[in-house]
Amino acid sequence: MRHCFWLFSILCWQSVHADEYASELDYYQQLPTVLSASRMSQPLSEAPNAMTVIDRQMIDASGFRNIADLFKLVPGMYVSYYKGSQPIVSYHGATDQYSRRMQVLIDGRSVYLPPMNTVDWADLPITIDDIERIEVIRGPAAASYGANSTQGVISIVTTDSMDGKSASFVHGNKGINDASIRFGSREKTYDYRMSIAYTADNGYDNLTANPNGITGPSLLNNSYDSNQARMMNYRGNYHPDGANSYDLQFGFNHDTQGVGFSDKNPAPYQPTSTNGDPIHNLISHSGFVQGGWRHLLDNGSELDLRYYHIQENQSEAFPVYLGGVFFPGPVFQALQTGRDQFEFQHILSFEANRLSYGGNIQRNEINGQSILPPLSLAYTPSFTTRDYQAYVEDEWRISQRLLLNAGGMYEKDRMGRKRLSPRVAFNYHVTPENTLRAGISVAYRTPSLVETNLPGVQPGAMFVPSAVPDTPGLMPEKMISREIGYIGQFVDWNSTLDLRLYSDSLGNGIFYDKPAAGMRNGFTADYRGIEAALKTRPTENIDLIANFSHMDARSNGPDLLAAGYGGFRAVYPPGFSGTNDILTASIPKNSASLLYSQRLAHMVSWSAAYYFQGSMQPFDRNYIDFQPTQHRIDLRIAKAYRFEGGTSGDIALIVQNLLQQDAYTEYIASNLFNRRMFVKATLNW
Name which of 619, 607, 610, 624 is nearest 582 in CA terms. 619
Check if the beta carbon of residue 271 is closer than 8 Å to that of residue 308.
no
Percent of the chain with pLDDT over 90: 65
DSSP alpha helices (H): ranges in 108-263?
A: 142-145
Quick: pLDDT tens for 193-244. Answer: 999 999 999 998 767 677 777 777 777 776 788 999 999 999 999 999 989 9
Check if the beta carbon of residue 275 is closer than 8 Å to that of residue 260.
no
Does the domain spanning 31-684 belong to CATH 2.40.170.20?
yes
Decide if pLDDT at 339 tops 80. Answer: yes
Q: Could you tell me the residue ranges of all domains in the chain?
A: 31-684
Check if the beta carbon of residue 387 is closer than 8 Å to that of residue 411.
yes
Decide if pLDDT at 73 tops 90. Answer: yes
What pLDDT is attached to residue 264?
55
Quick: pLDDT tens for 461-498. Answer: 788 898 888 888 899 999 999 999 999 999 999 999 99
As separate numbers, helices (DSSP H) first and strands (DSSP E) second, the chain gives: 6, 36
Residue 213: CB atoms within 10 A of its CB come to: 9
Decide if pLDDT at 320 tops 90. Answer: no
Average of per-residue pLDDT across 245-268: 82
Which residues, in sequence order, are bridge partners of residue 183? 165, 194
Percent of the chain with pLDDT over 70: 90
379 vs 256, higher pLDDT: 256
280 vs 128, higher pLDDT: 128
| The dihedral sign for the CA sequence 90, 316, 124, 224 | positive
Q: What share of the chain is helix, strand, coil (3-state, %, to 5)?
A: 15, 55, 30
152-158/102-106 β-pairing: parallel
Backbone angles phi, psi at 276, to 5 degrees: -90, 60
DSSP alpha helices (H): ranges in 222-295?
A: none
495-513/477-490 β-pairing: antiparallel
What pLDDT is attached to residue 131?
97
Which amino acid is located at 592 in the chain? Answer: A
CA atoms of 353 and 350, how far apart (whole Å): 5
Exposed/middle/buried for residue 568 (C-beta within 10 Å: 0-12, 13-18, 19+): buried
What pLDDT is attached to residue 30?
64
Enter the pTM of the model.
0.93
In eight-state DSSP terms, residue 211 is: T
Decide if pLDDT at 32 tops 90. Answer: no
CA atoms of 8 and 4, how far apart (whole Å): 6
Check if the beta carbon of residue 171 is closer than 8 Å to that of residue 177.
yes
